[in-house]
Structure 1
Amino acid sequence: MNKYLLITLCLLVSSCSTEPQQLDEWRVSTMAPKYYSAYVDILLITGEKKQGGWRGMVTKYTKFSKHPNSWEGRERYSSGYSIQSTELPGLLYIRWHSLANKKTYNKTIKVSEDIRNKMREYHDIRCGYYDLLLPYKNNILLGLAPDGMISVFLNGGCFDNELQFKVQAVEYKVVDDFVYPELSEEAQAYVDEHGVPTGIW
């Protein structure tokens, strides 16, 4: 084959590149303990350069962990906000309503340079049924506990939750006529029996 034609083909086909693709899409997702529904209404994200940011409402109800007293489970991507940018987050602001105890919390969370470095680190790893290359830990997962504790995890398509740190949110005063959505019958029955524990998440 003509060497110039080969060079042209290599430029067109990404598999010929020896350099890993730069991380240019990432997510901020949320999860609540099973039965302890969280209603997230505000998510603000400031870029690491602090010159701009993104705003999005995550969802009415977050995804649940596998067990009420833990953060096990892989349900994390469909309850998130996707950002297409090579700039990574510097600050996150989140406000959510805990339906189990009818409280509202808010918190500004600083994303450290260490976490951003972990997000940018390339891993030559494939997984899943289609053996896809998913080389980045590109999802920041916020575990929202009903006592206001936030567990900040890092994960990705081929990576399980890795706890980075925990931070306590503060209670937010809602307007007097605010009506909290009802829990499902199953969740309400569980909360009625077990209550809303604190300090276990």
Structure 2
Amino acid sequence: MINAKTFLLIIFCLLVSSCSTEYQAEPQELDEWTISTISPKYYTVRGDILLIVGEKKQGGWRGMIGKTTMESESPLSWDGGERFHSGYSINSDELPASFYIRWHSLANKKTYNKTIKVSEDVRNKMREYHDIRCGYYDLLLPYKNNILLGLAPDGMISVFLNGGCFDNELQFKVQAVEYKVADDFVYPELSEEAQAYVDEHGVPVGIW
């Protein structure tokens, strides 16, 4: 006959085994991702419109990325810990096939637009599971689930992938084209600090 102590030990072992089995279950598939934007420091941009076509090409999403895009730590690079800022979040396991973006560059008062195709290779990188934890709370953040668009004042777009535990990984660059705005369109002003920098250094071309 099993005594009480032995019975409790068996129950405990069964619970531990159950928890272990649950912990080792197959990882959950990627079902949420974002498209975010960033501009070089002082070269402020404002997102206007974002249209996303899903990979099944049966529908998509529409939204604004953000009134003021976050800036990098340097005027001449994309360096910094910036990620998921000015982001547009999508709750879906369907990833993008392409997207259209239009934005205003305040430094040189120009508006750009571009349709960008997302390759199967990029989508596969987003879906790839990595057993990786990071941060103060040691959270499991296994996916490169953020497409980060570096929007330069000359219209160049640097397309990165990153995630909670991943730094920016450049995928490719594309050149946007200038978009003709209405004659009475008024561009917002730069901050005093940004305007002083642009007045001194101008708007470089071809460095981002």
Compute the TM-score of the two structures, normalised by the length of structure 1: 0.94
User: Of 137, 146, 149, which residue of structure 1 is paired with 2:144?
Assistant: 137
The alignment status of 1:101 with 2:101, answered yes or no, reads no
The one-letter code sitting in structure 2 at the alignment partner of 1:200 is I
The alignment status of 1:152 with 2:153, answered yes or no, reads no
Q: Deviations over 1:70-97 (max 9, x none)?
A: 0011222131000000000110100000
Is the CA contact (8 Å cut-off) linking 1:127 and 1:134 kept in structure 2? yes
Structure 2 residue aligned with 1:118: 125
User: Of 26, 32, 44, which residue of structure 2 is paired with 1:19?
Assistant: 26
Measured in 2, the distance between the counterparts of 1:48 and 1:17 equals 30
Measured in 1, the distance between the counterparts of 2:21 and 2:182 equals 54
Measured in 2, the distance between the counterparts of 1:76 and 1:152 equals 13
The one-letter code sitting in structure 2 at the alignment partner of 1:40 is G
Stretches of structure 2 lacking an aligned partner (at least 5 in a row): 1-9
Is the CA contact (8 Å cut-off) linking 2:83 and 2:163 kept in structure 1? no
User: Of 39, 45, 48, which residue of structure 2 is paired with 1:41?
Assistant: 48
Structure 2 residue aligned with 1:67: 74
Secondary structure of the 2:79 match is coil
Aligned length: 198
Structure 1 residue aligned with 2:38: 31
Structure 1 residue aligned with 2:171: 164
Is the CA contact (8 Å cut-off) linking 2:54 and 2:96 kept in structure 1? yes
How far has the Cα of 1:183 moved from its partner? 0.1
How far has the Cα of 1:132 moved from its partner? 0.4
How far has the Cα of 1:6 moved from its partner? 5.1
Measured in 2, the distance between the counterparts of 1:127 and 1:55 equals 32
Is the CA contact (8 Å cut-off) linking 2:31 and 2:92 kept in structure 1? yes
Secondary structure of the 2:123 match is helix
Structure 2 residue aligned with 1:91: 98
How far has the Cα of 1:102 moved from its partner? 0.2
Secondary structure of the 2:43 match is coil
Structure 1 residue aligned with 2:6: none
Q: Deviations over 1:122-164 (max 9, x none)?
A: 0000000100000000000000000000000000000000000
CA-based RMSD of the aligned residues comes to 1.9
How far has the Cα of 1:18 moved from its partner? 2.1
Percent identity between the two aligned chains:
79
Stretches of structure 1 lacking an aligned partner (at least 5 in a row): none
The one-letter code sitting in structure 1 at the alignment partner of 2:98 is L
User: Of 127, 139, 147, which residue of structure 1 is paired with 2:134?
Assistant: 127
Q: Deviations over 1:40-81 (max 9, x none)?
A: 010111101110101110111100011000001122213100
